[in-house]
Chains A and B, each alone.
Chain A
Amino acid sequence: DQQVKQNSPSLSVQEGRISILNCDYTNSMFDYFLWYKKYPAEGPTFLISISSIKDKNEDGRFTVFLNKSAKHLSLHIVPSQPGDSAVYFCAARNSNDYKLSFGAGTTVTVRA
């Protein structure tokens, strides 16, 4: 039962343009949301997070938006750079047991 869904397995974007990655969740007990980035042969690295009490968090080129009523969050990368080419995982923490649930990932390719 996939509680966190990333419905786009891949995304291709031109360098300098905006990348928008989407994530939907079903569990209303999720209270904290994270995005991780993964390069081949490496473990995921933490990118940015947002608490359920906020609707936006920004860190440099990365902004995460949370729409609780729609159970939807998105990650915006502006401007996209070649080094952003990676797999991006959306994750959500359950406030009951602090378990993280991950989406299946979106592979981003930034074209020069």
Chain B
Amino acid sequence: KAGVTQTPRYLIKTRGQQVTLSCSPISGHRSVSWYQQTPGQGLQFLFEYFSETQRNKGNFPGRFSGRQFSNSRSEMNVSTLELGDSALYLCASSGTGGNAEQYFGPGTRLTVT
């Protein structure tokens, strides 16, 4: 089975721009979660999508949004980028949504200058 894939792997943007990141979950997985990882902060939960519906949301501003398509692929968008948005963005998929074990992609490294 192919793993979770994320594109692009690396991205450099300037302040004020917007960015869209993509995640393809493991085939058959319907739950996709997004996390932001910064040094010393661990993984901060952004949101979770299940069957095209946002099921959970973390404590991030409205500039962070996401969506999920009928094939379970997911995108997250960050508008009006700030320097503090520089981070590794990880996507994880799981089978039923109730299964705690999540499978992570390699992440997208976003640098905002």
Contacts and interface: CB of A to CB of B under 8 A. Distances in A.
B35 interface: yes
Contacts of B103: 46
B43 interface: yes
A43 B58 CA distance: 20
A98 B41 CA distance: 21
A91 B101 CA distance: 10
Interface stretch (B65-73, B78-86, B104-112): B104-112
Contacts of B55: 97
Given A43-B4, A101-B45, A102-B35, 10 more contacts: A4-B42, A6-B42, A34-B100, A43-B107, A49-B101, A89-B43, A97-B55, A98-B56, A102-B45, A104-B42
27 contacts: A9-B40, A32-B100, A34-B100, A36-B104, A41-B106, A42-B106, A43-B92, A43-B107, A44-B90, A45-B104, A49-B100, A89-B43, A91-B43, A93-B100, A98-B56, A98-B97, A98-B98, A98-B100, A99-B45, A99-B58, A100-B33, A100-B100, A102-B35, A102-B42, A102-B43, A104-B41, A104-B42
